[in-house]
A and B are shown apart, each in its own frame.
Chain A
Amino acid sequence: MGDDHRMTRRSVLGALGVLGASAATGALAVPDRATAQALGAQETVDAGLKRVFGGRPIKDGGGLIKLDIPLIAENGAVVPVSVEVNSPMTPANYVKHIYIVADKNRIPIVTRVALAPEAGQAYVGANIRLGETTDVRAIVEQSDGTLLQAKREVKVTVGGCGG
């Protein structure tokens, strides 16, 4: 019964997704709703990276990627992250996607941001949920397909006085 319920909702949303895709034209091709639904899945981080990137090599991007995240998160509910990539953002050479991944989360893929050169700067920020102390990664996909990564451990202070 639960699964049927979800199927019905999915088909309704599917119609909405199609409308959405045709409404937004231009700089970015809006991915279809099925891709968006599949982005977040309950899996290990290794399975998630395999699913999203195939076996493509992910190189260390420490020099180009500035991953700004607190070393200690006061609580896991709201952890501010920002990612800035040194990139000219020209049509010939720009950052196509920035992924934020939290290794130990139930759903490790947190978000994927698609950028057009018109963004002018490869910069994104978001408040994310962390279930526990974990490595957080920024994975960057360049327009030529190169994958780069920077990561940091974030210690989460779980709970507090008062239960």
Chain B
Amino acid sequence: MTRAATRLSWLATLLIAAGCATTGSDGNDASSVPSWTTRAIPEARGDIRTLPNGKREALRYAGWAKTDFSRFRTYAYADARGEVPVQRATMPPGVTGDPKKGRALFLARAKGPCTGCHLIPGDDVWPAGNVGPDLSTIADRRLTNDYLYQQIYDPRLIFPQTSMPPWGATGAFTPEEIVHVVAFLQTLKGPPPPEKDADRNPATRPKPVGFGDNLDPTNNPAVLLAEGAETQWNAKGAAGKACADCHAGGADAAMKGVAVRYPRFVARYRRVMGIEDFLTVHGPETTGTPLPSESDANMNLTILVKMASNGMPVAIDTQSPPARAALARGRAAFYRRVGERDHACADCHTPEKGANKFLGGRFLVEVTTGMTRHFPTWRTSQNQVWDMRKRMQWCMTPLGTNMLPADAIEYAELELYLTSFDVGKPMSVPGIRH
């Protein structure tokens, strides 16, 4: 090596070493982040339990999938595991692909479904998405079976930046199942049948129109429910005090302008906190009322506090050293590939990937439009109010990763990053969404 090259390689080594003096493979310094004991209700803690028959299952909210995804990387800063390694795959010998089985697998919700991202012909294909290319005439491309097999088994070998999950490498699909899907794809020759219905094709499907005025109490049940929270504000806790005792003048006046500064780094607890997180510690130490994460009491007070800032522009701190560090970690989390699907938030919520496209029947929102200022939100599909953390925990299921506790610092810092895109935009809580 020449002298210059030696110096450069020494410099490179030094820089890489400096970058690696951290926990986590994302290159962000999480060493100052304290460990946090959760104060969430039992179903919100992300616990995994072992059943009498030895099987492990996740303890989650009523009706939520209980699958244990411990094999796969999570959002935890302490989880230093990498993504599922990229695998080269070859078709198993002796398996004849059955296109009918392949089509059934393509449409199966329990699997993907593949139609979540890819359109194929058929009146029964409803609703397909367009995050991935339209495969209606894929057989015309004369791709080899081996190529298609690799694409499904682990597409990262072919397209390193792909959002498509490595279905075979993670075991989500068996080799035999992939052979059937390949056989099915090889039947999709053009020309495709004429489109009878503009809604069927996600490229021509109208965008969802939403659920109307979120602050109208005859439209949004959450607004009616929030009215009960003022009583809580005035109720004395075990310590003989009420919120109202220190925060005089009614919640609306006392809390005006407070929520627009959250999430924020709370020095006393050495961590970023959303309103929900702050209440979990503030309640017990002032009024003596426990306000665990995801409890009704916590949710109602969060809505009450946030409503007092409705119409005001989000104004979080993004400049102080702790805020910058937390934002960097939150951003890294946004781009972190996790789970059986090997997906990051970015795979759905950035325009280079899935944003502004349909994932099945769902229209994916772009992160820069601001995704936080309407939380907590009424969810019409759940008939419940959800806060941002519950919404994140719900995303964990399609990602195929175990959820963290609702008040986890990782989620708070991710929320901080997301909130940075709401800066300057007006709060409007509670929202109303699908």
Q: Which residues of A contact B (CB under 8 A)?
A: 70-72, 74-75, 77-78, 80, 133, 155, 157-163
Contacts and interface: CB of A to CB of B under 8 A. Distances in A.
A72 B380 contact: no
Contacts of A71: 199, 206
Contact of B395 (A155, A157, A159, A162): A162
A70 B199 contact: no
Interface stretch (B149-157, B312-320, B354-362): B354-362
* Dominant secondary structure at the B interface: loop
A70 B434 contact: no
A75 B126 contact: no
15 contacts: A71-B206, A72-B199, A72-B205, A74-B208, A74-B211, A74-B380, A155-B127, A158-B361, A159-B109, A160-B381, A162-B65, A162-B394, A163-B64, A163-B65, A163-B398
Contact of A157 (B64, B109, B212, B360): B360
Contacts of B434: 74-75, 160
Interface of B: 64-65, 109, 116, 126-127, 199, 205-206, 208-209, 211-212, 359-362, 380-381, 383, 394-395, 397-398, 434
B355 to A, nearest CB: 14
Given A72-B361, A158-B361, 14 more contacts: A71-B199, A71-B206, A72-B206, A74-B211, A78-B380, A155-B126, A155-B127, A157-B127, A157-B361, A159-B109, A159-B360, A161-B362, A161-B398, A163-B397
Identify whether the interface residues of A are mostly helix, strand, loop, or mixed: loop
Nearest to A75: B381
Contacts of B383: 77
A72 B205 CA distance: 9
Contacts of B361: 72, 74, 157-158, 160
A160 B199 contact: no
A127 to B, nearest CB: 9
A137 B96 CA distance: 48
B380 A77 contact: yes
Contacts of A72: 127, 199, 205-206, 208, 361
A155 B91 CA distance: 39
A77 B316 CA distance: 36
A161 to B, nearest CB: 4
